Amino acid sequence: MTAVTVVSYGAGNVASVQFALERLGATVRLNADPGEIADADRLILPGVGAAGYAMARLSDLGLVAPIRAFARPLLGVCLGQQLLFEHSEEGSGTPLLGLIPGVVHRLEPGPDRPIPHMGWSRLSTVRPDPLLDGVGDEAWAYFVHSYACPDGDATLARADYGGPVPAVVRRANRWGCQFHPERSAAAGARILKNFLELPA
Amino acid sequence: MTARRIIPCLDVKDGRVVKGVRFEGHVDMGDAADLAARYRDQGADELVFYDITASPEGRTLDYGWVRDIARLLDIPFSVAGGIRSVEQARRCLDNGADKVSINSPALERPELISDMADRFGAQCVVVGVDSKRSGDDWLVHQYTGDPTASRGSGRRTLDWIVEAQALGAGEIVLNCMDEDGVRNGYDIDQLSAARARLTIPLVASGGAGAASHFLGVFEQAGVSGALAASVFHSGVLAIPELKTFLADSGVEVRP
């Protein structure tokens, strides 16, 4: 059975991620110990709420260095995806983990475009990737966010919300999902299953 | 815009789903987890669990029950009823709820909204508003879970939702009480007025009785989601048929 470690740092939707992985038959370890995080086969970094608070928690727990150095599959979910980038506009500016270039920016509300971007949006695949195997080009995913990652070389799939929203990103062994795969029905389950099957 | 959300609301009392007309006279509609699984399988976009006894009786939620629901569902859900503190909200979220919805406690202490938003982010904080027509205006009511305690809050609905948004609410669920449980359609006038004042998502509640009511509220009031209870629980309307009807009518929904 595949083992996966979920970073449990007090700024994440840990239980719902845990349950989704357990539904797929994975052995889930919730952990915030720097040594055990460094030794994990694969790592999920969840996150909801403010980027500044999340980074402060990771820093207080001594997890910034082990996550940055992690060389096996790493998946950031929602805020966890944003944390992979360099910097966020959130608050008065927040330095992030710096694993993918670019700045996370605020989404602006518009006519028929309330913020947070909350609800189901269609994914359109930009380029194929093992994480997206079997996920149809018009799969639906559940988003909840007020900030978005920069659209660039790392983007694997986009959603459209008054402009392109990077929905799935990847750089080397680090992947991110802006939406919540644990709450995205069949498409989300397939993405988590694909992550569990990536060679560690 | 996202796909318009269809949101069954389960009023829960001791693990059973109940439904009353105009908030009174509750009838048993089945086991909450069974109904939740059924709606998940039928294509519900989100579920709301409203503990109708917790708030008026001053009880706290059963967090183990929240955890069981979180284990069962692969779609988002929110928990409402009886959440009066940041700590209670934290326990709901830690046990797997995606959002918490507060109503009367936010009216008593509006800073509860900002305290929760600061701690968990606006996206987790839903403010539920029970609203009733008064002349040519709408007024907020509180303690509506208990007919003997229900009363006006002294606030105008359209002022309160703007204040709640400014305090950090991530979504408003506007329950139009005059329509609740009577299945004559959503209150398009009130919901349109509310939509025009907000930049956060607005969810309509109260009055759904037919597929055309959903079409009307999405097309005319521009809401992000429509919540309904008895029309689904009673079997009058099934979610797959509703979504087919909406898609055929040009409303984007998740199949």
> Inter-chain contact B123–A121, Cβ cutoff 8 Å?
no
Question: How far, in Å, CA of A77 to CA of B102, rounded?
Answer: 26
Q: Which fold has domain B5-249?
A: TIM Barrel (3.20.20)
| B152 C-beta neighbours (distance < 10 Å), count | 11
Confidence (pLDDT) at B143: 78
Known catalytic residue at A182: yes
- pLDDT 10s digits, A30-53: 999 999 999 999 999 998 888 998
Residue A64 has pLDDT above 60, yes or no: yes
> Inter-chain contact B70–A15, Cβ cutoff 8 Å?
yes
- Provide the chain A residues 81-110 that lie in CB contact (below 8 A) with chain B: 109
Question: How far, in Å, CA of B24 to CA of B11, rounded?
Answer: 12
Distances (CA, A) of A195 to A27, A43, B48, B242: 13, 10, 30, 34
- Strands B171-176 and B202-205, how do they pair? parallel
In this complex, the residue of B5, B121, B122 whose CB is nearest that of residue A119 is B5
Active site residues of B: 11, 130
Confidence (pLDDT) at B145: 67
Q: To the nearest whole number, what is the mean pLDDT of chain B?
A: 91
> Inter-chain contact A184–B74, Cβ cutoff 8 Å?
yes
- pLDDT 10s digits, A136-174: 888 999 999 999 999 999 999 999 999 999 999 999 999
Question: How far, in Å, CA of B69 to CA of B79, rounded?
Answer: 10
Q: B133-141: which pairs have CB atoms within 8 A and are 24 or more residues apart?
A: B133/B178, B133/B190, B138/B176, B138/B190, B138/B193, B140/B107, B141/B177
> Inter-chain contact B74–A23, Cβ cutoff 8 Å?
yes
- Most B CBs within 10 A among A118, A123, A145, hence the mutation to make, goes to A118
> Inter-chain contact B74–A14, Cβ cutoff 8 Å?
no
Query: What stretches in chain B show pLDDT beneath 70?
Result: 20-25, 54-60, 145-147, 181
Confidence (pLDDT) at B230: 86
Q: What is the pTM of this model?
A: 0.95
Contacts of B225 in chain A (CB under 8 A): 119
- Joined tokens for residue A178: 């802006």
In this complex, the residue of B5, B96, B170 whose CB is nearest that of residue A116 is B170
Contacts of B198 in chain A (CB under 8 A): 114
**Cα nearest neighbour of B43 on chain A:** A185
> Inter-chain contact A14–B94, Cβ cutoff 8 Å?
yes
Confidence (pLDDT) at B58: 60
Total number of domains constituting chain A: 1
Encode A58-79: b = buried (16+ Cβ within 10 Å), e = exposed.
Answer: beebebbebbeebeebbbbbbb
- Most A CBs within 10 A among B41, B74, B165, hence the mutation to make, goes to B74
Contacts of A182 in chain B (CB under 8 A): 74
Structural domain spans, chain B: 5-249
Residue A133 has pLDDT above 80, yes or no: yes
Q: Does A8 touch chain B (CB under 8 A)?
A: no
Beta carbon pairs, A and B, within 8 Å: 102
Q: How far is B200 from chain A (nearest CA, A)?
A: 5
Confidence (pLDDT) at B22: 47
- Cα B18 to chain centroid, rounded: 15
CATH number of the domain that A185 lies in? 3.40.50.880
Question: How far, in Å, CA of A77 to CA of A149, rounded?
Answer: 12
Contacts of B171 in chain A (CB under 8 A): 116, 118
Contacts of A19 in chain B (CB under 8 A): 70-71, 96
- Joined tokens for residue B205: 């509640």
In this complex, the residue of A23, A146, A183 whose CB is nearest that of residue B98 is A183
Interface pTM (ipTM) of the complex? 0.94
Domain coverage including residue A123? 3-197
pLDDT band for position A113 (cuts 50, 70, 90)? very high
3-state DSSP helix/strand/coil % of chain A, to nearest 5 = 30, 30, 40
